[in-house]
Structure 1
């Protein structure tokens, strides 16, 4: 999910075409994702809520919309490639990591699944995970579908596709199938990132040039978003779409201001390795949650959830570094054997990022 593009030179690039505010924004996004899974997991296990519950609820309207919008930002750079190359970079890349990590997750969860449903059901559940995305991995299952649909429809007027996506989002379709439901809920944000990328970079440039105005805008957005969440109307049709888009803009502005000041650089590092965190955070998250709740050293559930979030993020990066040290690069880098299209001067592996 690398965010590289020709616009980088005008928007604070970081060497090799990386864009600083994009990495900051991705860092914020991936931490919010880990936070959501950590907080809800702790609260479910403890059967009570803590202060972190309100942070998760505040972020709910924009947590995934901003991730998908950012994922679509640089699509225009590659969408014109031939189908073989496109499928290799945008489908096979994520398919490799999905198959690998769904297998790893099943390896850890199989005993508990077998205890609940019996070992005869575990194999069937594993096969079903290739139709119904398993656990936390639904994002990298859905993203290739977005890439393919966007390329297939590139000759249709963008406004038509956007309006269809907006209607699907506002319809709040619930079928029980993750791919269908999440496609309907999220595609409009991915497609928005693709068609308005120039305006997104212009917004970032404006925030960088006028930080005072940007901060005032963020304060106003936070009040409106928090107020609508508190009134329990954030999921109403039109409102949900507006909050998703507004929240994505807020994360972009926040990422830009942090990049401008060079504050909280760990967020940028997390953004540079967002897929690494996404793939591996489940293990340290689950382990720390179990230990903290079992021994009961900390009684504040909100604090427990916060610690589990931090361990989930940091632990995933530790797993990544250990994998590289052990030469198990295939866990986070796609081996050349799984490429279907050649790449000039290609390394033996392609990183998850």
Structure 2
């Protein structure tokens, strides 16, 4: 039995939420932390473990699903006036990007300075306002997607969607994150916006026919694994198809989990996905350093990577709770001073997620 609510969104604190959406977001954010955790451990250790294959399996659909879910509720707000729209969809994310970019640099700049000097640190920090830094590229790119979609909302979808699909299949690589990731991901965000009603109907059918849904998941898993193993998953057209197929698989999985209310912690992670996204880097890095230094003789690389993944997710939520308890809510909630359009009844803070 899902909770009420049809206008929940990543960027606003809606009074009602939709369970399967939160489960889907939870699965996605855990996979994102997993990728950074596993690759970080493997790079530091110079070897791979069993978690490497999990990350590779998820590569075709990990970010496509996240962006598709992010576009699901855009139709509810896209016709707002530009000032309100920019406040909710651009200024909101800009606040958290600048804040957490500065926090990350505060932790990382000493090592950067030791390697290349403080002038280089200043250059990197400045460049990060043009080319997003590290793990924060997702919340840098989302406002761009919001603006582009609103600017083109009167252009027929049969014009925009094929262009977006062609950009994904072109596999553009310029080494500029905004250009490359826009080309790779916009089709999924736009599809979430464009096909929202179809996606909700698809979820409803999965809930009504769980056995058929499970059979479809099994077939998808085999095909996805085979294409990843053979290297075909990155081919044009196939990459696009796998992105949407994987997104569909996550939606089905999330729907079934919501139906039986299993693994409720995943739903909780989905409710606070942006909180985890912003803060996971610190517990992830600390846990990686400690485990590789002291546990490597006793644990294999795969297990270490899994523990770092878990620590990154839980650690971010712990940081969030500490921030609430200590009054440092500005870390995860946008203060009213940074709003450009106040609500009629406006809370002092707007949550990150």
1:188-227 aligned at under 5 Å gives the runs: 188-227=187-226
Question: Which residue number in structure 1 is paired with residue 266 of structure 2?
Answer: 267
Question: Which residue number in structure 1 is paired with residue 41 of structure 2?
Answer: 42
Question: Which residue number in structure 1 is paired with residue 317 of structure 2?
Answer: 317
Distance in 2 (alpha carbons) for counterparts of 1:343 and 1:159: 36
Q: Confirm or deny: 8 A CA contact 1:66 1:244 kept in the other structure.
A: yes
Q: Considering only aligned residues, what root-mean-square deviation do their CA atoms show, in Å?
A: 1.4
Q: Confirm or deny: 8 A CA contact 1:62 1:248 kept in the other structure.
A: yes
C-alpha distance after superposition, 1:39-59 (max 9, x if no partner): 000000000000000000000
Distance in 2 (alpha carbons) for counterparts of 1:159 and 1:39: 39
TM-score (normalised: structure 1): 0.96
Question: Which residue number in structure 2 is paired with residue 128 of structure 1?
Answer: 127
C-alpha distance after superposition, 1:286-335 (max 9, x if no partner): 00001111123533000000000000000000000000000000000000
1:112 is displaced (CA, Å) by 0.7
Q: For structure 2, which runs of at least 5 residues remain unmatched after alignment?
A: 9-13
Secondary structure of the 1:18 match is: coil
Distance in 2 (alpha carbons) for counterparts of 1:130 and 1:320: 25
Is 1:181 matched with 2:184? no
1:123 is displaced (CA, Å) by 1.0
Question: Which residue number in structure 1 is paired with residue 15 of structure 2?
Answer: 16
1:215 is displaced (CA, Å) by 0.3
1:241 is displaced (CA, Å) by 0.2
Question: Which residue number in structure 1 is paired with residue 87 of structure 2?
Answer: 88
C-alpha distance after superposition, 1:234-285 (max 9, x if no partner): 0100000000000001000000000000000000000000000000000000
Q: Confirm or deny: 8 A CA contact 1:39 1:306 kept in the other structure.
A: yes
Distance in 2 (alpha carbons) for counterparts of 1:125 and 1:181: 19
1:16 is displaced (CA, Å) by 2.7
Question: Which residue number in structure 1 is paired with residue 336 of structure 2?
Answer: 336
User: 116-125 vs 145-154, which deviates more?
Assistant: 116-125
How many pairs were matched up? 345
1:151-190 aligned at under 5 Å gives the runs: 151-190=150-189
TM-score (normalised: structure 2): 0.96
